[in-house]
Structure 1
Amino acid sequence: MVKINRQNLADINKANQPFRIIGKIKPALADGIWTYTEEIYGQSYVKAYLDDDLDYAAYIDDPDKTIYLAYSGSECIGQIVLRKDWNRYAFIEDICVAQSARGQGVGTGLIQKAVQWAEDSGMKGLALETQDNNLLACRFYAKCGFVIGAVNTMLYRNFDNEESAVFWYLRNTKQQ
């Protein structure tokens, strides 16, 4: 993993590639604990996110935010964009892995790097938001130890979809 710098700035978003939607999670809150079941769609489909329109150069040497890039040789195959949030979590603004590198531990490596950055920055853990219909991402976050902390059914209602926002948290046990 390489921290963002002027030399690799052009590699931002190269790993932002389409992904498959195979189903969704159905979160439920009982006694203050979130659980979920899975609904597998009869037919999957491909989804892609537009590149965020951020000033990525502002992340260079900023103690409150950073970006790490993963490489295979000279090819950028993953990225994670982080910032310190007001609630003492390091918020993952974006994480993506190139299609050719999925399932090979790149995402896990990016999360591990984010955990280390959060610890070094005095944060209490990591937080992120994804959609309930991004089942593969939800499975990945759960596998990494994240738990659901909230669900927002209104965040995406002004768009032509039925997505809900799911907020995932990974508490840093060293900073408790």
Structure 2
Amino acid sequence: MIIKMDQFNMKDYSKPNESFLVSGRIIPTFKNKVWKYTVEKFSEPYFKKYEDDEIDISYIEEEDKVVFLNYVENTCIGRIKIRSNWNGYALIEDIAVTKEYRKNGVGTALLNKAIDWAKENNFCGLVLETQDINVSACHFYAKNQFVIGAVDTMLYSNFPTANEMAIFWYYKF
């Protein structure tokens, strides 16, 4: 069951944020105006967890922002955080699924909910950013018909421990 976040279920927002395995990195290439990628596998995989993202009341009160939470019975197993972006796309700021429910269609269901919301609000598509080391996320977006639109080698360069590139994925209606 996917429902819109409100003041009563707002406490469930941070529950799906869990670590993921970093097993390699995406190597993007741009040729003939088309992005493609290969995967470099790491000899020593490691786990990474993003810092918990604080949610604010504006995602309940403002029309150009929304969070959808996915529940199984009374347990929140996934979330997607979306807002309007300056370029006419709806920006997926975050998507997370608990470990035990990954690769079971929860993420795709959340993306489909985001697509419906973006179409209802007259956006031209969806955009999101992930890191090149989040290979499983990159595969997930590609499987769901997102395409690479840009790569940013400087976005994380101010963080000495982050040896990552930002990859921007687009889904155009």
**TM-score interval w.r.t. the shorter chain?**
over 0.9
Q: Provide runs of 4+ in structure 1 moved above 6 Å.
A: none
Using the alignment, how far apart are the partners of 2:166 and 2:147 within structure 1? 14
Q: Please tell me the residue identity of whatever aligns with 1:131.
A: Q
TM superposition score normalised by structure 2: 0.96
Q: Please tell me the residue identity of whatever aligns with 1:76.
A: C
Secondary structure in 1 matching 2:107: helix
What is the CA distance between 1:119 and its match in structure 2?
Answer: 0.2
The answer as to whether partners of 2:18 and 2:99 remain within 8 angstroms in 1 is yes
Equivalent runs, 1:13-162 vs 2, <5 Å? 13-55=14-56, 57-159=57-159, 160-162=161-163
Secondary structure in 2 matching 1:60: helix
Q: Deviations over 1:77-105 (max 9, x none)?
A: 00000001011100000000001111110
TM superposition score normalised by structure 1: 0.95
Q: Please tell me the residue identity of whatever aligns with 2:48.
A: K
Q: Deviations over 1:97-122 (max 9, x none)?
A: 00111111000000000000000000
Using the alignment, how far apart are the partners of 1:76 and 1:105 within structure 2? 15
What is the CA distance between 1:68 and its match in structure 2?
Answer: 0.1
What is the CA distance between 1:161 and its match in structure 2?
Answer: 2.7
What is the CA distance between 1:7 and its match in structure 2?
Answer: 1.1
Using the alignment, how far apart are the partners of 1:71 and 1:169 within structure 2? 26
Partner of 2:168: 167
Using the alignment, how far apart are the partners of 2:35 and 2:103 within structure 1? 26
Secondary structure in 1 matching 2:122: coil
Q: Please tell me the residue identity of whatever aligns with 2:84.
A: K
Secondary structure in 2 matching 1:49: coil
Is 1:2 the equivalent of 2:3?
yes
Q: How many residues align?
A: 171
Secondary structure in 1 matching 2:71: strand
Secondary structure in 1 matching 2:62: coil
What is the CA distance between 1:43 and its match in structure 2?
Answer: 2.1
Q: RMSD between aligned alpha carbons? A: 0.9
Partner of 2:13: 12
Moved more, 87-96 or 36-45: 36-45
The answer as to whether partners of 2:25 and 2:40 remain within 8 angstroms in 1 is yes
Using the alignment, how far apart are the partners of 1:20 and 1:73 within structure 2? 27
Using the alignment, how far apart are the partners of 1:44 and 1:137 within structure 2? 16
Q: Deviations over 1:125-172 (max 9, x none)?
A: 000000001100000000000000000001111112320000000001
Q: Deviations over 1:43-95 (max 9, x none)?
A: 2111001112341x211142101000001110100000000101110000000
User: Which blocks of at least 5 consecutive residues in structure 2 are unaligned?
Assistant: none
Secondary structure in 2 matching 1:112: helix
What is the CA distance between 1:25 and its match in structure 2?
Answer: 0.6
Using the alignment, how far apart are the partners of 1:16 and 1:34 within structure 2? 29
